[in-house]
Amino acid sequence: MVSLIKRVVRSDLWVDGVFEERLSREPDIEVVKFSIRGAAQVARDALSAAHVYHISAAKDELPREWFASAELLSMCPNLLCVSAGGAGYDTVDVAACTAAGVAVVNQSGGNAVSVAEHTLGLMLGVSRRMLEGDRRMRREVGYAREDVMGHELAGKTVGLVGIGNIGSRVAALARAFGMQVVAFDPWLTHAEIEHRGARPVSFDQLLAASDVVSLHCPRDATTLKMMNAATFAAMKPGAIFISTARGGVHDETALVQALQSGHLAGAGLDVWEQEPPPLDHPLLAMDNVYATFHVAGVTHEARRNVAAIAAEQIVTLLAGQRPPRLINPEVWPTFEQRWAAMLG
């Protein structure tokens, strides 16, 4: 009996080689790659025959026509799974996938160490005014060291909005620096938050108590513009704002105003509403803003981990087994029916 060839389709955006190396060891799995700048019909033909679409999670790198939307799903009758190439899945319409009986998986946790390290780097850079010192050294002499004098993290309170894979690691690193850690996470019990290394508090209590507020939550309808003029105003005067979460969770205009007024001492930002932000963005003109281009999870180790996890989940799912990082678990009974029908 000839085995059905199961097709995994992805774009030509960069993926660590371990992804295809792992899938190549499965005799019944074929990887097909299309160019995002090539002929659209070639890409449509590849996707129309796909059983899995491994999609980039970078919303400003992947052209919108290749997002996993209801329109694209309608052209993919064989599609069983959309596999997001990261912890985020901004390029995936999860509700449309669920309606179509398509499983959605992400690779949460694969880059958690890298993002946590970057978060601490942003905290240190802003609190110790490292970038300000670096810039002044490159353009002038004769200024006093006290002109760029910062603050220690030790003894300060960091408030984590979300304490999942990444937030838990940030909590551990922050405690190693002698910080107090509080956290708000509506999806976890107080006991679980304590188990993960933080004192549970309400969102309002977190804003009022924290010297550093750090976001580690997804972007969705409940978190969009969570940090706005009112919530920035509720933070302690002189506090620092950090985000390695997703652009749009904080209101960039409101953050500009909070920094310009002097209410906040500084910000460390790895995520932006538009990525990369325009060069004339007012936040990029501020010396007390440490800006990076959504690179917190972009290390050799993290990219390899994410690719390896993605490939393993795809192998698991195409064998009819439930993957560990299923975003829409309610789809599973329908998925099982469609998978069985695919095998004939």
Active-site annotation, residues: 246, 275, 294
Say how far apart CA 21 and CA 289 lie, in whole Å.
40
For residues 34 and 48, the answer to whether their CB atoms sit within 8 Å is no
- DSSP code string of 21-56: HHHTT-TTEEEEEE-TTS-HHHHHHHHHT-SEEEE-
- DSSP code string of 81-96: EEEESSS--TTB-HHH
Question: 104 - beta bridge partners?
Answer: 82
Q: In what order do the strands lie in the sheet with 264-269?
A: 199-200, 180-184, 157-161, 212-215, 239-243, 264-269, 289-291
Say how far apart CA 210 and CA 241 lie, in whole Å.
10
Say how far apart CA 73 and CA 35 lie, in whole Å.
19
CA distances from 261 to 111, 210, 234, 254, 266 (A): 35, 19, 14, 11, 11
DSSP state of 284: G
For residues 200 and 149, the answer to whether their CB atoms sit within 8 Å is no
For residues 212 and 159, the answer to whether their CB atoms sit within 8 Å is yes
CA neighbor of 124 nearest in space, from 184, 170, 164, 182:
170
Q: Which amino acid is at 138?
A: R
